[in-house]
């Protein structure tokens, strides 16, 4: 059984002390593919090191996270553009809109999101979308950019059934993580109405640990709790859901 964590920040300083252990724990459980979203230029070196240490398991994305869109966003975008031109990545991400912490850079967030979608199209890469309190803004931009060359993952999907269908209509898979295990997470109420071919699994570690680890540091091995919950919602075997969601991740990332 090969399980894919399509979204894990393994380079985070929160894994400084025990990164090796965290990764070997995941590998033992069959979590063998780690897709690594970027945040901003301050993490690039640690992402590259992670890839060097685990070349068979680590797949890097490149992008500017919406909460890192600030006064210097043009320099940050130039870094993304330069990195994309310099080597292979597996996605442009994570990119999108986040209005939860700060609304003051909304216009810049939109510009950065659109620009990075253009680059994803240029390199024929998927996009990995981060959305927090930004569904309307994100759907407006996806509507203006939609087409066969636009595809990817709506990461940490927390919307309702209508929003799920709309995301899928733009060639997005839904990234399902710890929230599906939460009592008040809501997506568990409709998820099984969506064909499993649109679903990929993720942790978003070190954030958003699933039940029973909720509130603690999340790690990639906990994608197993997400997998088990999704299997129970679909009334399917765990191994079958692992196989299908890993196959879905291959469709998106091309690897």
Interacting residues with Zn ion (CB under 5 A)? 37, 204
CB 155 → Zn ion: shortest distance, Å?
A: 6
Shortest distance, position 194 Cβ to Zn ion, whole Å? 22
Rounded (10°) angle between helices 135-145 and 106-123: 40
By C-beta, is 58 or 231 nearer to Zn ion?
58
Nearest CB to Zn ion, comparing residues 137 and 204: 204
In the complex with Zn ion, the residue whose CB is nearer, 91 or 244, is 91
CB of 193 to Zn ion, least distance (A): 26
Q: Which of 22, 56, 61 is nearest to 39 (CA)?
A: 61
Count CB neighbours of 227 within 10 A.
25
Q: Give 16 or 28: the residue with its C-beta nearer to Zn ion.
A: 16
The three-state (H, E, C) secondary structure of 151-207, written as one string: CEEECCCCCCHHHHHHHHHCCEEEEECHHHHCCCCCHHHCHHHCCHHHEEECCCECC
Minimum CB separation from Zn ion for residue 133, in Å?
A: 15
Q: What's the rounded Cα separation, in Å, for the pair 152 and 175?
A: 10
**Looking at beta carbons only, is 208 or 230 nearer to Zn ion?**
208
Residue 203 CA to residue 123 CA, distance in Å, equals 26
Q: How far is the CB of 158 from Zn ion (least distance, A)?
A: 13
Q: Measure the CA–CA gap between 172 and 161, rounded to whole angstroms.
A: 14
């Amino acid at each position: 059984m090969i399980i894919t964590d399509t979204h894990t920040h393994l380079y985070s300083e929160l894994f400084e002390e025990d990164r090796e252990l965290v990764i070997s724990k995941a590998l033992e459980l069959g979590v063998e593919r780690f897709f690594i979203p970027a945040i901003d230029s301050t993490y690039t070196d640690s992402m590259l090191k992670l890839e060097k240490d685990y070349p068979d398991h680590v797949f890097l994305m490149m992008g500017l996270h919406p909460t890192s869109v600030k006064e210097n966003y043009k320099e940050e975008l130039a870094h993304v553009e330069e990195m994309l031109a310099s080597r292979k990545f597996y996605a442009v991400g994570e990119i999108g809109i986040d209005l939860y912490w700060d609304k003051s850079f909304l216009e810049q967030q939109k510009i950065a999101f659109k620009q990075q979608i253009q680059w994803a199209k240029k390199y024929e890469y998927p996009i990995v979308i981060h959305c927090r309190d930004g569904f309307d803004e994100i759907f407006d931009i996806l509507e203006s950019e939609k087409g066969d060359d636009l595809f990817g993952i709506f990461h940490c999907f927390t919307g309702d059934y209508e929003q799920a269908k709309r995301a899928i209509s733009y060639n997005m898979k839904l990234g399902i993580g710890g929230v599906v295990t939460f009592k008040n997470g809501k997506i568990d109420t409709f998820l099984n109405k969506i064909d499993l071919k649109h679903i990929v699994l993720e942790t978003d570690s070190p954030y958003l640990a699933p039940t029973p680890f909720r509130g603690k540091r999340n790690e990639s091995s906990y994608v197993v709790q997400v997998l088990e919950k999704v299997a129970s919602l679909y009334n399917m075997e765990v191994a079958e859901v692992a196989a299908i969601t890993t196959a879905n991740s291959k469709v998106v990332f091309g690897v």
